[in-house]
Amino acid sequence: MSAIVSRLIHSPSSVSRALSSGLLNYGRLLSTESNRVDEPLKVEETETVKAPPPPSEKLLVLGGNGFVGSHVCKEALDQGLSVSSLSRSGRSSIRESWADKVEWLQGSLLVPESWKDVMNDVTAVISCVGGFGSNSYMYKINGTSNINAIRAAAEKAGVKRFVYISAADFGLVNYLLQGYYEGKRAAEAELLTKFTYGGVILRPGFIYGTRQVGSMKIPLGLIGSPLEMVLQHAKPLNRLPLVGPLLTPPVNVTAVAKVAVRAANDPVFPPGIVDVHGILRYSERK
Residues 28-43 have a mean pLDDT of: 45
State the DSSP string of 37-68.
Answer: HHSPP-----PPPPPPPPPPPEEEEETTTSHH
Best-predicted range by mean pLDDT (15-24, 36-45, 190-199, 244-253): 190-199
Instruction: Look over the chain and give the mean of its residue pLDDT values, rounded to a whole number.
Output: 78
| 262 C-beta neighbours (distance < 10 Å), count | 17
101-113 residue pLDDT tens: 999 999 999 999 9
Residues 29-52 have a mean pLDDT of: 47
Residues 116-140 have a mean pLDDT of: 95
pLDDT at 92: 83
Reported confidence tier of residue 146, pLDDT bands at 50, 70, 90: very high
Q: What sign has the CA pseudo-torsion 178, 179, 182, 187? A: negative
131 against 211, higher pLDDT: 131
The strand pairing partners of 216, in sequence order, are 213
201-226 residue pLDDT tens: 999 988 887 666 555 555 554 454 44
pLDDT at 8: 42
- Does residue 273 contact residue 195 with C-beta atoms inside 8 Å? no
Share of the chain above pLDDT 70, in %: 66
Residues 120-124 have a mean pLDDT of: 95
157 against 171, higher pLDDT: 157
Residue 14 pLDDT exceeds 70:
no
Distance CA(149)–CA(174), nearest Å, equals 24
- Does residue 132 contact residue 138 with C-beta atoms inside 8 Å? yes
Distance CA(127)–CA(140), nearest Å, equals 14
Residues 82-87 have a mean pLDDT of: 96
Q: Strand 210-213 and strand 216-219: pairing?
A: antiparallel
pLDDT at 153: 97
pLDDT at 286: 57
pLDDT at 159: 96
